[in-house]
Chain A
C-alpha cells in the first residue's frame, strides 16, 4: 500500500512542459510509474508512439532519467539489450549502481506490432517492468483500430457507418496472454486509482524477473470525452467490470478492486463519443452483446480469483 505523504517526497522524473494533450492518461501513467520507483535509478525504454513524440522533441526532453527509444515494435527487445548490458557490465564490476528497467509502450506497440518482441523478452526472463499504457487504439497516427480496441468502438479504420457499427471484433486479452508466459507478476490497472497502480508498480519492480502491467489509459481525442472526465471514465471501466483491476502474482489470481455494485456497461460507454452510435435504437443488440461478454469474462475472472489459480 503506497503512502501519499511518502510518495510526494519521491523525485519527479518526467517534467511538465511535455506536449501530451490535456486530459491524456499517458502522462499520468508515466509520472506515477516513476514516482513509484522512488529513488531507485531507472532506465526508461519507450516504443514509438504518443508518449515518445510528445516528450522528446529535439533539442528538448521531458525525461530526467536515462531514456531510450529506437523503434515501434521492439521496445521489449530493446529493454532486453539494455538489461543484458547491465548484467554483463555489473558482473565485470564496471557498473556499481542498482538499476531497474522500465518499458512504456502503447497498445499498438504492445498488443500488435510489438507482441513478438514482448513475448520473447518475457519468455527469456529479463528483469524488466513493461507498462502498456493501453488507450485502445493507434492514437498517435490518428485513432486507428488495434487488437485492444473494444467491440463497437468507432475508430478511423473501423468507423461507424451506414452499414457497420465500429469494430466488429472483441478486444484481445493481452493480460492473459502475458500471464500464460508464467512470469512472476502480471497486472491490470487503470488511470484514476493512483494507489492501485503505484502499489502494482512497486510490486512489479520488486520481483526478480519480468513483470507486466496493462493500464487502461483514456485518450481524450480517441475516446472523445471532456478532459476533466478522464478519472471518472477510467473508474467506470472498473465499476462496470469492463476492465477489472486484478493481478496474477506467481500464478495466483487476485481481484484488487471489487466494485460495490456492478454497474451496467452503458454507464462507461455513454460518456465517450467513440460509442455514441451504439445508443441508436437499432444498435441496442450490440450493447447487449457487450454486456453479455463483460458478464462472462467477469465470472471467469472471479472464478480464477476464488480458486487462486489459473482456471
Chain B
C-alpha cells in the first residue's frame, strides 16, 4: 500500500494507464503522436480527451500506424518540441527501425510502454518480450513494479532523456499494472511542471536562423565514431539517472536507484527480477525470513543502461541466485537478464555465486507465490549442497513432454 511521502500531494485510485495519462497531462508535452494498441490504448485515449477539452496545450497526432507514430514523434523532437508516444508489443515491433534512428539522432523522445507478449501466436497479456527485443537500440529503459513507479518514472525520465540526449521508455506490465486499480500518490501539477521544467534543445529544425542538416549519410569515415558516441552516451546516462533520482527524492520524497534491494544485504539465496512480479516476490521473501530462511531480492529498475558493476557488488556475497526472465531468447543460450547479469558478475571477478536461469510468465502465464517459494527452496538446496544447480534454462509452470 502506497503511503504519502509528499505533504502537498494527494492519494488517488487509478489504473496504471490512467496514472500515466495523468503524468502526461502534468508534463504537458508539446506533441504526442500515437496509435492505439492493447493494453496501452487507454493512455492515448485519455490524453486525447485532455486535448479535446483544452486542458493541455499539447498537440495530438492520431497517426495511421505505430511506424508513423514514432516517426512523427522523432520529427517533432527534431523540430524542437518535447515529444512523446505510447505503445506495446506489436506496435513496438513495428517501430523497431525507428527506435534505432531516434537513438542515433540523439533525440530525447519519451515512450510510455506497456509490456505485452509478441506474436505469433498473438497474445495480449504481459511478458517482457517486446521491450527486451529492443534492449540494445540505444534507449534508456526503466521498468516499473506498480503504478506509483510508472508515474514517478515517467516524470523522471523526461528530465533524464533530455539531459542524456537519448530516447527513453518507461514500461509497466500489461493488464497487471496497466489495468489494475491501485492507490497512487499524485503530486500537484505545478510541482511536476517545475520538476520537468522547459525543454530547451541546443539545435532544432524550427530554429530557422540556424539551419542544419539532420539525418545525413555517414560512411566509413565517421559512422563508427558516431555509434561509439551513442554507446558511450548510454553508459554516461547512469550518472544522470542517479542525479535526477536524487533530485526527485529531495522534491517528492520517494527514493529511486538503478534497482531496489529487498532483504538482500545478508541474503544467502536471492531472486533477481524485473517488473510487477517483484511485488509478489517481496511478500514471499518476508514469509521465508519469518521462517529463518535468508532469502533476498534484487529488483532491477534501470535495465538500460545496465548497472553492471553495481549489481555485481550487490550480489557478490549471495550463494545462489535465480535470475527470473519474463522473456525468452531464441539464441540457443540464455535469456536477456541472465546473459547481462552473468557477464557482469564474471567481468567484475565475482565468480562465487551459482546462478540459475528461469523463464516465467510468458504470455501472461501465472507465476504463483507457491512457485516463487519453490524457486527459493531449489536455491536453498543448491546452497546447502543437497542438490546440484541445473544447467540451461528452467521453465516455470509450463507443460513440456
Contacts and interface: CB of A to CB of B under 8 A. Distances in A.
B79 A81 contact: yes
Nearest to A56: B216
Contacts of B71: 70-71, 74, 77-78, 81, 117
A67 B213 contact: yes
A66 B57 contact: no
Contacts of A53: 217
A77 B68 contact: yes
Interface string A203-238: 000000000000000000000000000000000000
Interface stretch (A57-65, A256-264, A276-284): A57-65
Contacts of A69: 214-216
A41 B79 CA distance: 14
Interface residues of A, number: 46
B208 A99 contact: yes
A120 interface: yes
A53 B219 CA distance: 10
Nearest to A69: B215
B48 to A, nearest CB: 14
A73 B76 contact: no
A64 B397 CA distance: 61
Contacts of B64: 116-117, 119-120, 123
B75 A79 contact: yes
A134 interface: no
B33 A70 contact: no
B390 interface: no
B206 A81 contact: no
Interface in B35-62: 57-59, 61-62
Interface in B211-230: 211-219, 222
Nearest to A41: B208
A75 to B, nearest CB: 9
Interface residues of B, number: 43
A58 B61 contact: no
A61 B212 CA distance: 9
Contact of B59 (A74, A84, A121): A84
Contacts of B216: 56-59, 61, 69
A144 to B, nearest CB: 20
A84 B69 CA distance: 12
Contact of B67 (A58, A73, A119, A123): A73
B204 to A, nearest CB: 8
B220 to A, nearest CB: 11
B212 A81 contact: no
B377 interface: no
B222 A67 contact: no
A85 B217 contact: no
B206 A57 contact: no
B75 A45 contact: yes
A85 B58 CA distance: 9
A59 B30 contact: no
A43 B98 CA distance: 21
A58 B68 contact: no
Q: Give the most central of A58, A70, A73: most B CB within 10 Å.
A: A70
Contacts of A79: 75
A88 B75 contact: no
B76 A84 contact: yes
Interface stretch (A90-98, A169-177, A191-199): A90-98
Nearest to B29: A88
A89 B71 CA distance: 19
A73 B216 CA distance: 16
B89 to A, nearest CB: 20
Interface in B191-214: 205-208, 211-214
18 contacts: A41-B208, A43-B205, A56-B213, A67-B211, A67-B213, A68-B78, A74-B98, A77-B71, A77-B72, A78-B75, A85-B31, A85-B75, A88-B30, A89-B80, A89-B206, A97-B208, A99-B208, A117-B64
Interface of B: 30-31, 33, 57-59, 61-65, 67-68, 71-81, 83, 97-98, 101, 105, 205-208, 211-219, 222
Cβ-closest 5 pairs across A and B: A81-B75, A120-B64, A81-B72, A77-B68, A69-B215
